[in-house]
Amino acid sequence: MSTEKEKIILGSGKLYMMEYAGTIPTDLLLEVDANLFAAISGGATLEYKPEFYTAEDDLGTCSKTKLTKEEVVLKTGTMKVNGKTLQKLSPTARVTEAAGKRTTKIGGINNLDGKKYVIRFLYEDATDGDVRVTIMGVNTIGFALAFAKDKETIVNAEFKAEPHDAEGTKIIYEEEIPTV
């Protein structure tokens, strides 16, 4: 008989980001206010899509299936937008601050910064235990800013994960295990 309680995840969480420096940082280094990316709106979705190839004979008597590709995307919407947020969503953004003004310039392939980020979604639950989803990658869909008179501006991002260790790991899913 298991002493593990069933976990039901209800609600959203926080999104932390910091520049990738060759390893995934500890929780204490990553989960600080300075790395809090933005307030999430609309939750977050982690998608894992394996791709397989199946070789099969004409009569269907023998076959072999092989995993050929994995794609991991973390999607989320954020509602606190500023130049520093946009800089992490665009690989060509440059931010300067002077005389009480922040200026963000975006565009120009020659401005490609080549930065990759550790992205951590943290779901906190004092009863059932926290869940952490960590990937390393970049935003791959760009962004759109819609300014409407009766709705907050939401910036949607899709972070495509890349392998971050010698094993090819793309997702780290950590959960606290509650006991009965």
pLDDT tens, position by position, 38-69:
888 888 999 999 999 999 999 989 999 999 99
Cβ-contact 87, 107 below 8 angstroms: no
Of the pLDDT bands very low, low, confident and very high (cuts 50, 70, 90), residue 2 is: low
CB 132 within 8 A of CB 29: no
3-state helix, strand, coil in the chain (%, to 5): 10, 45, 45
Does residue 89 sit in helix, strand or coil?
A: helix
116, 124, 138: which is closest to 31 by C-alpha?
124
Q: Six-digit token pair at 8?
A: 């039901």
Q: Which of 132, 134, 133, 126 is nearest to 178 (CA)?
A: 126
- This prediction has a pTM of 0.86
DSSP state of 29: H
State the Cα–Cα distance between residues 46 and 48, nearest whole angstrom.
7
Surface-to-core class of residue 149, CB atoms within 10 Å of its CB (0-12 exposed, 13-18 middle, 19+ buried)? exposed
Structure confidence at residue 146 as a pLDDT band (50, 70, 90): confident
22-26, 50-54, 79-83: least confident range: 79-83
